[in-house]
Amino acid sequence: MDFSVNCDPESGRAVIICSGRLDVNNSRQLRDILNDVVARSCYQIVLDLSQTQYMDSSGLGAVVSRIADLRANGGDVRIAGAKNHVAGLFKLTHLDKVIKLFDNVDNATASFTE
């Protein structure tokens, strides 16, 4: 799993691209990244999962690991580009009722200004 982080404290927004498998071996890394961007006052986070081929329960846990803090600060985490198995996990766990899923990063980012 590779992570690419684009954090802009000025706009308070961050886009995190997760490529490959998000599982027990690297979910800790995603948690650390989220902690880091939140520490930099980026509360509007887009997780780009368009290149995520597989996710397990620990990956799912990492995705929502700061959701209460984000919303308490007027932000949120939004998902972009999740497909097939990964999108199915959000539905199966009802997380799709909590987190908004978008086709792509642009739509997810734009949703913060709507």
Kindly tell me the burial class for residue 82, based on how many C-beta atoms sit within 10 Å of its own C-beta (0-12, 13-18, 19 or more).
buried
**DSSP SS3 for 7:** strand
CA distance 107 to 103: 7
Interface residue with another protein, options 95, 100, 107, 112 (CB under 8 A): 95
Instruction: Pick the closest to residue 13 from 94, 114, 110 (CA basis).
Output: 110
Interface residue with another protein, options 3, 5, 50, 56 (CB under 8 A): 56
Region near another protein per CB under 8 A, out of 2-10, 43-51, 95-103, 104-112:
95-103
Is residue 36 near another protein by the rule CB under 8 A? no
Is residue 25 near another protein by the rule CB under 8 A? no
Binding positions for another protein, rule: CB under 8 A: 28, 31, 56-58, 60-61, 64-69, 71-72, 89, 92-95, 97-98
